[in-house]
Amino acid sequence: MRLLTGATSAADDVFAAIDRERMPAHVAIIMDGNRRWARERHLPAVEGHRRGIASLREATRFCRDWGISVLTVYGFSTENWKRDPREISFLMDICVFFARHELAELNRNGVRVNVIGDYHALPPGCVEALDDMIAATAGNTAMVLNLAINYSARSELTKAARAMARDALAGTLDAGAIDDAVVRSYLSTAAFPDPDLLIRPGGEMRLSNFLLYQLAYTELWVTPVYWPAFSRETFAQAIVEYQGRQRRFGGM
Read off the pLDDT of residues 148-173 as tens digits, 9 standing for 90 and up: 999 999 999 999 999 999 999 999 99
**Any idea what DSSP says for residue 6?**
-
Average pLDDT over residues 14-24: 96
Half-sphere exposure for 6 (CA within 13 Å, toward CB): 24
Rounded to a whole number of angstroms, the CA Rg of the chain reads: 18
Examine the pLDDT at 136 and tell me if it is beyond 60: yes
* Mean per-residue pLDDT of the chain: 92
Report strand pairing: 197-200 vs 26-30. parallel
Q: What average pLDDT does this structure show over 89-109?
A: 91
Strand-pairing partners, residue 144, are 70, 112
Catalytic residue among 65, 80, 107, 118: 80
Among 12, 13, 32, 84, which one carries the catalytic annotation? 32
CATH class of 2-14+23-152+196-243: alpha beta
3-class DSSP assignment, residue 113? strand
What proportions of the chain, in percent to the nearest 5, are helix, strand and coil?
50, 15, 35
Task: Look up residue 139 and give its DSSP letter.
Answer: T
Task: Of 32, 8, 60, give the one whose Cα is nearest residue 235.
Answer: 60
What span, in angstroms and rounded, lies between the C-alpha atoms of 35 and 45?
A: 5
Residues of the chain with pLDDT > 70: what percent? 94
For the segment 102-114, the average pLDDT, to the nearest whole number, is 96
Active site residue 107: no
Q: What is the mean pLDDT of residues 41-51?
A: 92
Q: Is 80 a catalytic residue?
A: yes
pLDDT value of position 7: 47
- What pLDDT was estimated at residue 171? 97
Q: What is the pLDDT of residues 57-96, one digit of tens each?
A: 999 999 999 999 999 999 888 887 887 788 788 788 889 9
Average pLDDT over residues 115-134: 94
Give per-residue pLDDT as tens, 205-248.
999 999 999 999 999 999 999 999 999 999 999 999 999 998 77
